Structure 1
Amino acid sequence: MSTTDVTDGAVASTHSSESGLDENVAGALSYLLGAITGVIFLVIEKENAFVRYHAAQSVVLSVAAFLVYVVLSVISTVITAVLFAGGGSLLFGLLSLLMTLLWLAVTLVAFGAWIYLMFRAYRGETVRIPVLAGFADRIA
């Protein structure tokens, strides 16, 4: 088994991981179902730093996206409750539209990041997401 350096822009070798898959395939699959596959590969993979890093980053990214969705839901609920109780229909409509657009933007960014990270991992490259990479390093 091979270990690789997970520094910024590192390129992984094509050695297999403990899962029996090539490390680039295992790294890409770590993102497939977010935290679920991330945890699976963290448990299976004990030595391959490339796979462990991508699995950890998948978990961290999934948790961060979930937290953003929770915060947006709370804000949206508070806005709805306050405006509905106060009867501000025009303001309610505008803020509701704004929250919908914000949800859409977050969803598109999360989906784009998911596809991008899977693609780069499959190519054997390590992409470090600012802020989240530090948490992934601690987990990996």
Structure 2
Amino acid sequence: MNTRLGLQDNVLATIGYIIPLIAIIAFFTEQENNFVRFHSLQSIFLSLIVTLLFSLFSGVFCFLSFIPNVGSMLSCICSIFLIPIALGILGIVIFLAVKAYNREHYKLPFIGDQVERIIYRY
């Protein structure tokens, strides 16, 4: 099924996971397509959570770096955790993009239920 943006709905939902700005545009332009709206809003929520998570980590690392002598060491040790977290998030985004491309209605735990309430409320 084609969307108002000229793409098939599964392609638009997939691109929305990869580029969150497209998800925002798709959410507001595709008023009748609940499949695209669901995946777009889930992508937006995921992006917001990831942004908040990385902002929190950045603040902690910045604070730790000011502790004399041990601060830089603690900051380096904590930054080691960022690589697996970033790879995990990348894996989740790829997984969700594949699910959207295959036209599957996959809900993330916690986020998916909230998104469904918002989408199907209107």
Normalised by the size of structure 2, how large is the TM-score? 0.86
The offset of 1:134, in angstroms, is 3.0
Provide Cα deviations, 1:45-67, integer angstroms capped at 9, x if missing partner.
Answer: 01111100000011000000000
Preserved contact between residue 31 and residue 55 of structure 1 (Cα < 8 Å): yes
Pick closer, same or farther for the CA change 1:139–1:59 going to 2, 3 Å.
farther
Flag the structure with higher helix content: 2
Pick closer, same or farther for the CA change 1:88–1:100 going to 2, 3 Å.
closer
Of all paired residues, the percent bearing the same amino acid is 26
Q: In structure 1, what is the Cα distance between the partners aligned to 2:101 and 2:61?
A: 37
| Structure ID, larger Rg | 1
Q: Match of 1:64, as an amino acid?
A: I
Q: Which of 36, 41, 47 does residue 62 from structure 1 map onto?
A: 47
* Structure 1 residue 18 corresponds to structure 2 residue 4: yes
Match of 2:84 in 1: 105
| Moved >3 Å (runs of 4+) | none
The number of aligned residues is 119
Q: In structure 1, what is the Cα distance between the partners aligned to 2:77 and 2:117?
A: 36
Q: Which of 102, 108, 112 does residue 123 from structure 1 map onto?
A: 102
Match of 2:65 in 1: 80
RMSD over aligned CA atoms reads 1.7
Q: In structure 1, what is the Cα distance between the partners aligned to 2:94 and 2:3?
A: 22
Normalised by the size of structure 1, how large is the TM-score? 0.76
The offset of 1:131, in angstroms, is 1.3
Q: In structure 2, what is the Cα distance between the partners aligned to 1:138 and 1:38?
A: 18
